Amino acid sequence: MTSPATRPKTFTVKSFGCQMNVYDGERMAELLGAEGMRAAGAGEDADLVVLNTCHIREKAAEKAYSDIGRLKRDDGTRPMIALAGCVAQAEGAEAQARSKMIDLVVGPQAYHRLPELLADAAAGRRPVDTDMPAISKFGALPARRKSGPSAFLTVQEGCDKFCTYCVVPYTRGAEVSRPFGDIVDEARALADGGAVEITLLGQNVNAWSDGARGLDALIREIAKIGGVERIRYTTSHPMDMSDALIAAHGEIDRLMPYLHLPVQSGSDPILKAMNRSHDVESYVRLIERFRAVRPDIAISGDFIVGFPGETEADFEATLAIVDEVRYAAAYSFKYSPRPGTPAAMMEGQIAGEVMDERLQRLQARLAEHSLAFNRACIGRDTQILIDRKGRQLGQMVGKSPWLQSVHVTSDAKIGEMIDVTLTSAGPNSLGGSLRTVEAA
């Protein structure tokens, strides 16, 4: 099937994987909008489909190709297809050799060039742009305008840590921090556009620095912006955690009591083989320091089971750190060998069934701790930020400061912050009732 050789008028951007991809997806949509294109409505066939892909695990990467196959229409036509994101970066022109339907390939640092690439594709060429230009894409993107109540803002990209299992240092490149002023301007634009909550994003968000200041300074500045009620940040690396950022959690009300701090494993030899540059002891001490300044803080983590060489004893050490930290939330994965990473070549690759069994046991343990955390919140008076309608009539769902979903019967609108008392808890969400707060 040849490329639909006309300039597309409507588009759909589909993002997979992490929140940074969600952010990139929004910015690509804004860019295409500024080019005079329009987002296709629900059920409408778009002229251009941008697949903003994830390469972190094999399953995620394969999803890109199965999705491409599904874009063929019954009448034999298809949209123009742009492969973006980390699969695009990792595979480049190889992706087009694998699927003839890919009209253009654009990496995560090059998508500001989409307009030229689209023109090239419409002319029948099959452009590939996986450059990581020294001048960042951000300056070439249109300014932010409209925003939902909860907005993402990328402040840092890339990773220099080279954990032995991970493709990110290869797909997203070296650690780069955006300038302080640009970020604050973007936060203001988001607030003007309706954002109540801003989540600062980076592969190593707490490595953000402008040479003099760290992430805490950025958070303090954004906390001064009118309308920004809540600030979050993700994902942090234990190695980059500063005293000032920990202290900020005890001082800035708008900084939410939630910390996503991946540990990956609870076994020191495995952490070493992963090149994590922290051990169990230093990680646990770090968590204790957060709890000392913010006792209610919700801790969340990432875990990998079945890293090469992981013994039953190593795995049990992971269960032990889960019990010690008492995670409020967590993401856990089976190890997936990624092309070009050192761990993919290591001896002692673990059988699939062993990984399945360990993942089940880990997830059961994590679920116990989530439930315990949620139950301990019952009786608290707090605020939730309404983000969607509930399934039952008259029910709305919002996020607590601890990032739990809270169901409440209310006529509040999406984007409103409302006062509630938390009244019930399950493993994945809580129930609340409206609370009337007397004006001071």
Which residues, 30 to 59, sit near ligand 5AD by CB under 6 A?
Answer: 56-57
Instruction: Fill in the per-residue mask, 234 to 273: x = in contact with ligand SF4 (CB under 6 A), - = not in contact.
Output: ---x------------------------------------
Q: How many residues of this chain interact with ligand SF4, rule: CB under 6 A?
A: 10
For strand 417-425 and strand 405-409, is the pairing parallel, antiparallel, or unpaired? unpaired
Q: Which stretch binds ligand 5AD (CB under 6 A): 113-121, 330-338, 355-363, 395-403?
A: 330-338
Work out which of 15, 171, 199, 203 binds ligand SF4, going by CB under 6 A: 203
* Residue 122 interaction partner, one of ligand SF4, ligand 5AD, none, beta carbon < 5-8 Å per kind: none
DSSP string, 46-95: PSEEEEEE--SSHHHHHHHHHHHHTT--TTS---EEEEEHHHHHHHTHHH
Contact flag: residue 369 with ligand 5AD (CB under 6 A): no
Contact flag: residue 267 with ligand 5AD (CB under 6 A): no
Pinpoint the alpha helices (H) of 135-214.
Answer: 168-171, 180-192
Residues near 272 by beta carbon (within 8 Å), at least 6 away in sequence:
279
- For the bound state, the minimum distance from the C-beta of residue 306 to ligand 5AD, rounded and expressed in Å, comes to 9
Pinpoint the alpha helices (H) of 252-334.
Answer: 268-273, 280-293, 312-325
Cα 379 to Cα 70, 305, 374, 387, 422: the distances in Å are: 48, 36, 11, 22, 5
CA distance 303 to 332: 5
Q: 398 pairs with which residues across the strands?
A: 386, 406
Work out which of 156, 300, 336, 400 binds ligand 5AD, going by CB under 6 A: 336
Contact flag: residue 168 with ligand SF4 (CB under 6 A): yes
Q: Which residue is nearest to ligand 5AD (CB)?
A: 302
Nearest CB to ligand SF4, comparing residues 4 and 169: 169
Which residues, 299 to 318, sit near ligand 5AD by CB under 6 A?
Answer: 302, 304
Contact flag: residue 161 with ligand SF4 (CB under 6 A): yes
Contact flag: residue 331 with ligand SF4 (CB under 6 A): no
Q: 399 pairs with which residues across the strands?
A: 385, 405
CB 287 within 8 A of CB 431: no
Give me 49's structure tokens. 């489909």
Nearest CB to ligand SF4, comparing residues 79 and 173: 173
Contact flag: residue 180 with ligand 5AD (CB under 6 A): no
Element (H, E) at 353: helix 352-376
* Residue 374 interaction partner, one of ligand SF4, ligand 5AD, none, beta carbon < 5-8 Å per kind: none
Residues near 249 by beta carbon (within 8 Å), at least 6 away in sequence:
255, 257, 259, 290, 293, 294, 297
Q: Which stretch binds ligand SF4 (CB under 6 A): 47-55, 106-114, 154-162, 430-438?
A: 154-162
Q: Which residues bind ligand SF4 (CB under 6 A)?
A: 159, 161-163, 166, 168-169, 203-204, 237
Q: Which residues bind ligand 5AD (CB under 6 A)?
A: 56-57, 165-166, 262, 264, 302, 304, 333, 335-336, 338
